Amino acid sequence: MSSLDDFAKTKLAGLEARHLRRELSVTQREDGLWVTRGGKLLLSFSCNDYLGLTHHPKVKAAAIAAVTRHGAGAGASRLVTGNHPLHGELETRLARLKGTEAACIFGSGYLANAGIVPVLVGKDDLVLVDVLSHACIWAGAQLSHARVEMFRHNDMAHLGELLETHRAEHARTLIVTEGVFSMDGDLAPLEELRLLADRHDAWLITDDAHGLGVLNEGRGSGAKVKADIQMGTLSKALGSYGGYVCASQAVIDLIKTRARTLIYSTALPPASIAAAIAALDVIEADPALAARAVLKAQAFTRAVNLPLAQSPIVPIHLGDPVTALDASHRLEDEGFLVIAIRPPTVPDGTARLRLAFTAAHADADIVRLAKIIREKILP
Ligand code: PMP
């Protein structure tokens, strides 16, 4: 057997040769929009801070006050001594916003998805996952030991076929998808998903990481059609950190009793919870705020003749990783931070620029970015 070091070096060299090696760049976020990277000030179109709340004075003040009152860390997992009063307050607020009986906060959105799927299904069961779903949905599905099948992206005919073929062989069936797809920005057909789930006696989970705070007056993608479980994150439009799950009281009680990523992981720091509560206050106090990020994305898609944006996320498909990296570097030369997204985050052959618009982007900057992308990036 080769040494661990040799193994790592060989593996890295292989990834490097395919332009798939990833490196961390120090990025100092100056506010909700501007970042300093490599000594250069850049206007970011790559942060998921859709409402600019990471740097909102009320959100920051709430986090500081929580540190002062409750300390820097939670001290233990929620089932031991980490369940601070702020947890319940945020859960009540999230359940109210999502129109469910109850909610449960997790350490992150990744931990939420990795934790809840194994609570609901096991080895005799079936999980059907949209092929473009986030890595943590796949992680949860794998950890459940259920049979996992993927359906083509937003392809309800394919999902229907899989249900017709396999549903009867399994005790329980779970359909999991994203409300807003993180790398494509399109929306799931929730009404059809709900109908299929009901027709085939299946449960539906939607991941609303990119919908909360920005769609349907901030209530997210599930405002009109209810999934059995709506999960998401506090780390994007809410500008904080942590994950959440909204569902009926009984489902939440079961999750709190059984989800290993909740039971065996330290609770969120009080500052993150307080910041998320303050972010919800800001969103609820300004009814026009939530819609603004999507409107900015739509101004951009109109300017570059792409299909009208449905969310704050706009992909520009470029195909291979080198072209995507090159486009990202060219935009950096023009003063913009637009990250290239490569496999395995996205399927082979679909490397892209992923633009994330925020309520705070100035119209003039969007016009300038669109012009450069039209002239220098688009084929
Ligand atoms: N689901 C989706 C669709 C996401 O995009 C993300 C974050 N990249 C997550 C879940 C994970 O959330 P968190 O960052 O809170 O772990």
pLDDT of residue 58: 98
Are 367 and 305 spatial neighbours (Cβ–Cβ below 8 Å)? Answer: no
**Residue 120 C-beta-side C-alpha neighbours within 13 Å:** 26
Q: Give the confidence band of 211 by pLDDT, cuts at 50, 70, 90.
A: very high
pLDDT tens digits for range 299-318? 999 999 999 999 999 999 99
CA 329 to chain centre: 25
User: Is the predicted pLDDT of residue 368 greater than 90, yes or no?
Assistant: yes
Q: What is the DSSP string of 327-371?
A: HHHHHHHTTEE--EE-TTTS-TT-EEEEEE--TT--HHHHHHHHH
Does pLDDT of 178 surpass 80? yes
pTM comes to 0.96
State in Å: Cα 73 to ligand 1 middle. Answer: 22
Both tokens of 235, joined, read 């780390």
Atom of ligand 1 nearest to the CA of 136: 10
Identify the bridge partners of residue 352 per DSSP, sorted by sequence position. Answer: 317, 341
Residue 1 pLDDT class (50, 70, 90 cuts): confident
Residue 200 neighbours by CB under 8 Å, 6+ apart: 163, 164, 167, 173
- Residues in contact with ligand 1 by the CB-under-6-Å rule are 108-110, 134, 136, 178, 182, 207, 209, 233, 235, 243
In DSSP notation, 127-189 reads EEEETT--HHHHHHHHHHTSEEEEE-TT-HHHHHHHHHHHGGG-S-EEEEEESB-TTT--B--
- What average pLDDT does the structure give for the chain? 97
Average pLDDT for residues 363-373, to the nearest whole number?
A: 98
Distance from residue 324's CA to the centre of ligand 1 (Å):
22
**55 tagged catalytic:** no
- The pLDDT > 90 percentage for the chain reads 97
Q: Residue for token digits 């920051």? A: 60
Examine the residue annotation and report whether 23 is marked as an active-site residue of this protein: no
Q: Shortest CA distance to 315 belongs to which of 210, 205, 191, 159? A: 210
d(Cα 217, Cα 228) in Å, to the nearest integer?
21
Nearest CA to ligand 1 atom 15: 109
For residue 234, the ligand 1 atom closest to its alpha carbon is 15
Candidate of 137, 233, 261, 265 to mutate for ligand 1, largest count of ligand atoms within 8 Å of Cβ: 233
Distance CA 193, CA 155 (A): 10
**Do residues 120 and 239 touch, judged by C-beta distance below 8 A?**
no
Which residues neighbour 49 within 8 Å (Cβ) at sequence distance 6 or greater? 32, 55, 236, 237, 239, 358
Q: Are strands 313-319 and 336-337 parallel, antiparallel or unpaired?
A: unpaired
Is 182 designated active site?
A: yes
**Active site (annotated) includes residue 84:** no
Q: Where are the beta strands (DSSP E) in the chain?
A: 27-29, 34-37, 40-44, 102-106, 126-130, 147-151, 173-178, 203-207, 229-233, 243-247, 313-319, 336-337, 340-341, 351-356
As a whole number of Å, the end-to-end CA separation of the chain is 47
User: Quick one: pLDDT at residue 2?
Assistant: 87
Q: Ligand 1 pocket check: which of 181, 182, 205 to mutate, most ligand atoms within 8 Å of Cβ?
A: 182
Report the amino acid identity of residue 319.
Answer: G
Told to judge if 134 belongs to the known catalytic residues of this protein, a careful annotator would answer yes
Q: What's the pLDDT band for 13 if we cut at 50, 70, 90?
A: very high
Contacts of 324 (CB under 8 A, 6+ apart): 318, 340, 341, 342, 351, 352, 353
| pLDDT tens-digit map of 316-341 | 999 999 999 999 999 999 999 999 99
Residue indicated by tokens 């998903």? 193
Q: pLDDT by residue (tens digit) across 117-142?
A: 999 999 999 999 999 999 999 999 99
Q: How far is the CA of 46 from the centre of ligand 1 (A)?
A: 14
Query: Which protein residue has the closest C-alpha to ligand 1 atom 5?
Result: 182
Catalytic (active site) residue 207: yes
Q: Which of 56, 84, 134, 256 is catalytic?
A: 134
Q: Which of 210, 256, 296, 361 is catalytic?
A: 210
Q: What is the best residue among 136, 210, 236 to mutate for testing ligand 1's pocket, by most ligand atoms within 8 Å of CB? A: 136
**Which tokens belong to 84?**
């601070």
Where residue 222 falls among pLDDT bands split at 50, 70, 90? confident
